[in-house]
Structure 1
C-alpha cells in the first residue's frame, strides 16, 4: 500500500505511527501542502477534498480522512477493541479529536509552524487558545482516571489525540499545566514500535 502525506502533519503522522506499530509494509510519498501539491488535478482525482493523508490500497481502492484510515489499518489488531462499547469509546474520542481538539490545537500550530505567524493571522491564532485549553482539560479529566483514553489499554483513540497533543506547544499550549496529559504523552512514547515525526523529517 501507499500513503500520500506530510509527516509533519499530525493527521498524516497518525497513519505513520499505526503503520509502524503494526509493522505494515508501505511506501510513503511526501506531498507538500505549501507548494499546492494537494490541489493538482492528479491529486484531486484521488481525493476531491484536496487533503492529506490518502491511503492507496493494493486493490486500487483509495481511502482518505486520517481517523478512517487508522481504523481500517487497525482492524483485527489490539489497537482497535472488538467489544462493542469499547469500540464506540474509541470513536467517541476520535470524533472529539476532529471537532473539539484539532480545530484549535492543530490550527494554532499550523498558523505558527507552517505560516510563520503572519500578523494578519495573529488574531485567529489567539482565538484558538481557549478552545484548545478546553480540549486539553477534557483529556486531563479522563487521563487522571485511566492510563489511556478508553481505559487500561492503548488504542487508536490514543494515536488520534497524541498526534497533535504531543506538539501542542508549537501552537502555544503549555502541557505543564496538564500533568495527567503530560504523563500520558510519555506513556504513549513508550509503546512498542513508536516512531517520532522527527525520524522522517
Structure 2
C-alpha cells in the first residue's frame, strides 16, 4: 500500500529496489504511518545537491525522523525501526544470530543477486556489464545454498522466529528470478518465501 500520512518518519526510496522495499515491508507489517518520497536511482535522483545534502553517500533508502535525524543503510534502519518489537529479539544470542544474517545479506547475498538483477533488468543487452552475470549467478547460487542449508533445520533467519533478517533476505530473494535464478532449485527457500508472504501486514513490492 502507498502511505502519504503526515505523521511518522519519511522514507526516501526507489520502489523497485530491494533495499528500499525492506523498509516498506517492515513499516507496513508494524502498521506505522510513514511518508514515502520516490527517489529513483536510475533517474539520478540520489545525485542531486539536495539529496546529497541529506545523505552524502548518495544512496537510498534514507530514513528521516520527524525531528530531522537521518539514518542510512537499509539493515541499520531495520534494526532501528524494529527495536522493541517482536521483529528484533531481546535475547542477546538470538539478536546476534539475526545480525549474522543481516551481515550475510549485505556481504554475500545482495552483492550477487541484487547486482545481477540490476544488470539483467535495467542495462541494455549489449552493455559490457552483462559479462558479469555468469559469475554473479554462480556466487548468488552459493548464497541461496547457504540459506537452503539453514532452512533444513530452522524455519526463520531471525533467531528462531520471523523478523528483520527474514525481511532483509526476502527483499531480493523473492525477485531473484529476474536475475536469472530458478528458485524451484531451492525448495526450502521457496517454501520460506511463501511463509513470509503469509505474515500479517505483508505488502508486495511496488515495481
Q: TM-score band, normalised by the shorter chain?
A: over 0.9
> Would you say 1:89 and 2:97 are equivalent positions?
yes
Query: In the alignment, is residue 159 of structure 1 matched against residue 153 of structure 2?
Result: no
State the partner residue of 2:55: 47
Q: For residue 59 of structure 1, what is the aligned residue in structure 2?
A: 67
Partner of 1:180 in structure 2?
Answer: 188
Runs of 4+ that moved beyond 3 A: 116-119
Distance 1:65 1:141 in 2: 27
Q: Map 1:1-201; keep pairs closer than 5 Å.
A: 1-197=9-205, 200-201=206-207
**What whole-Å deviation, never above 9, does each CA across 1:137-175 have from its counterpart, x for those lacking one?**
000000111111145410101001000000000001111
> 2: distance between equivalents of 1:167 and 1:52?
19
2: CA distance, partners of 1:13 / 1:158: 13
Are the aligned partners of 2:89 and 2:159 in contact in 1 as well (CA < 8 Å)? no
SS of the residue 1:28 aligns to: strand
> How many Å separate the matches in 1 of 2:159 and 2:87?
12
The C-alpha deviation readout for 1:25-61, integer Å capped at 9, x for no partner, is 0000101111111001110111111000000101110
TM-score (normalised: structure 1): 0.96
1:116 Cα deviation after fit: 4.1
Distance in 2, matches of 1:166 and 1:17, equals 13
1:64 and 1:137 mapped to 2: Cα distance?
29
Unaligned runs of 5+ in 2: 1-8
Aligned counterpart, 2:6: none
